[in-house]
Amino acid sequence: MGRAENRCARSQLRVGSFFCGTCRLCTCLPWWDGRQTTGCSARPVRWRRRRVLHRAAALSLKVNFEILDTPIRKAVVYLDPHEFHSTWLGNKAVYRTRMAMADSAELIILAPGVRKFGEDPAIDGLIRKYGYRGTPATLAAVSANGDLAGDLSAAAHLIHGSSEGRFTIRWCPGHLSQEEVEGVGYEYGDLKTALASYNPQRLHHGYNRVEGEEVFFIPNPGLGCGLTAVNCSDESM
């Protein structure tokens, strides 16, 4: 996400230095320039890995992100029905935009192809059981429940898919009921009604004026991420 100094990166560097200090190990750091994916590689010498990681993060921030002057009050994200069939994948709409969202803002996710939460039955069941209820609730659930503790990737996903109570996330799925959506902690929106107001064929990437309101439209959350200038520091992870 364009940040080189964070807990994950520090843990990776420490583990790599401890276990792989003399190994020849290449790390691929992909980035997207709008046309093709390329990357950098490095041997796991600690100082060199850190230098390359910083260079890659700076490049990512330059080519992968939109730096916004002010936070977004309302965002609409469209999920291609051929690509997105679950909230597991579709929550890119959340974690790739939430640094750009203002407090008390609204994120509307148009998801005509979404019909489930997890990509497999086990993950789907965990998401339905515990929901997207923020970091404290998820960590408490991990501590108290063996099924979630046994699948920390699911727990991490539940955290990534939450706004931590800062803004509203309204899912408008094609094949999930209001009861199902609200059951995992999201607000529900009727897809047909939402598409009538926010027609993806008529909106362009960025700010649009819709019914007298400024709306930031994202046609594909898999490419890039909105990011406000105040959130660019590494240590704000």
Tell me the domains of the chain and their CATH numbers: 7-63 (no CATH), 67-231 (3.90.226.30)
Nearest to 2 by CA among 58, 69, 63: 58
pLDDT bucket at 37, cuts 50 / 70 / 90: low
Residue 67: per-residue pLDDT: 81
Structure token pair of residue 82: 């051929």
For residue 236, is pLDDT > 80? no
Tell me what the mean pLDDT of segment 118-138 comes to. 97
Tens of pLDDT, residue by residue over 173-232, are 999 999 999 999 999 999 999 999 999 999 999 999 999 999 999 999 877 555 554 555
Tell me what the mean pLDDT of segment 55-68 comes to. 76
Mean residue pLDDT across the chain? 84
Phi, psi of 138, rounded to the nearest 5 degrees? -70, -45
Residue 59: per-residue pLDDT: 75
Residue 6: per-residue pLDDT: 76
Check residues 180 and 96 and name the one with the higher pLDDT: 180
Contacts of 40 (CB under 8 A, 6+ apart): 28, 29, 52, 55, 56, 59
Please report, as a single letter, which amino acid is at residue 142: V
pLDDT bucket at 42, cuts 50 / 70 / 90: very low
Check residues 5 and 113 and name the one with the higher pLDDT: 113
Tell me what the mean pLDDT of segment 58-79 comes to. 86
Residue 47: per-residue pLDDT: 44
Nearest to 110 by CA among 158, 188, 171, 168: 171
Q: pTM for this structure?
A: 0.82
Burial class (CB in 10 A: 0-12, 13-18, 19+), 34: exposed
Residue 154: per-residue pLDDT: 97
The alpha-helical segments, DSSP class H, found in the chain are 7-19, 46-63, 87-90, 92-95, 121-130, 135-144, 146-149, 152-160, 178-183, 191-197
Tell me what the mean pLDDT of segment 80-92 comes to. 96
Residue 38: per-residue pLDDT: 53
For residue 46, is pLDDT > 90? no
Tell me what the mean pLDDT of segment 126-143 comes to. 98
Mean pLDDT highest for which of 21-35, 85-99, 171-185, 211-225? 171-185
For residue 71, is pLDDT > 70? yes
Residue 53: per-residue pLDDT: 72
Contacts of 121 (CB under 8 A, 6+ apart): none
